[in-house]
Structure 1
């Protein structure tokens, strides 16, 4: 069996092994990582040799960590990465190049339509009716997008939202509220089959699916990093956050919103961001948590988006495409039956 896993921000980890009588045998680790001393490689191989094939990624990582010499230095590789590579080999998980990808960057639609398209396109990928897709959102209306499980009254100041011209909508994924001012954010959605993230923990899948955008940000001079569970940041501050939704039919939605420009004071007047929310962030001000891409790069929003698309094409070979008329029609029907209803918006009061 053969498995590969690219460590987000790190190196490629490759494992080869056989399974005999339910155990991993003839285990061999390789990759372009750095490992000192040389004996650490054999220590890792020995740690995985003989482990039960049903051992999860965290169990494999624990065995590797225990076996490493006390002076071992791992650069571009972690024990968890070894565990993930093993699990992906056992489920024969595909990689980015095993799919035919599309990039969609169509004209602006309403916030509710964007949310409905997320559900429709994720479902179609899960059904095999659409190729895996990266979609760049466009809209010219400002909105607060709250997470699927958030309380409306706890997250949004209705008077502040009305005063600043923000609609309030609810998405299908979890996570926190996003202040999405018109033309001041960059939002993308990935619609992928569940097989792409097989063998990964839920947390690992976030890092894996956002690694391409970290590469794109670094190419425009932003020292971007992934901060578990779902933040994209730089030394200057938080840039954005991601969220996921997995459908029963095998479709996975992974979307992220990055701040291109932001009015920090306005954010505090529209969102109810309490002290508990900030308690583990090392700051007392929500406005100081976010550092937008405009100030970090000096580039226009469109220039950054084009770099995103070019980076993704280089990784996947994706071709430009469009949302079809019937996909738009299905999404519009979903707006009327779900996303525009008070029942959905206030599903958690």
Structure 2
């Protein structure tokens, strides 16, 4: 990462940290899901952008993280957020390993359909088994402790735009740094080799199925952590978190930001939340409008927002040279 890129990232995070000073509480609450989805998409892009496996059922693991928070806080009385993260990581890994062992033996549309099938199966379980998941009513989320601190005396808005907002940013920075280390490590090179030419990678001695499974489990863990953060502002974990349309939104955000760039998923998360908010306020047919945006995106900007910025940067550099 160049010094210029580091400075740009530092400036962006500084602006984000200062958001409570210039944004209304409503717009601050929009930043919270954007941060949570940024974490989810960092993991998803390891699977999609770096390993070449497109999942249509990734919302399954988002729901696991969300229901972990709900069950632990409201039914078991465990409110420490760090402990909840640990349980979410374990739960997602336990489910991701057997599901991944089945799915990673297939590629392209077969992998996508298998993940979609598992996602819909999990959604059906959440929807039908009322004693386990609360059925279509879901499970309420009790406000968790942050770093061991009980902040129940604060009103909800102050809690979300204050301590929880900065807590989420810290988690994003930590997990973003970890993901950067992963994708730029020898393991990350293995992932890219498998994406570009799995047969050649296998000839070179890379255990293709093993590394696909590793990418699948890591992406599931990131999704569960993001899901845990996503559900706190909402206050309810419901089966729709595991529905296939939610998985579609995850794919949409990744393409919107640009899956060929490390920062693309983060940009896509913030862009999608902002775009959806504007469209919902403008028209009741906002889903149709999002569909049009997706079609135009695939046709005109296949590399997403970050791809457009990189192309613009190269064009400016060439003009300066000339």
Structure with greater helix share of residues? 2
Structure with greater strand share of residues? 1
TM bin, normalised by shorter chain, reads: under 0.3
The TM-score with structure 2 as length reference comes to: 0.24
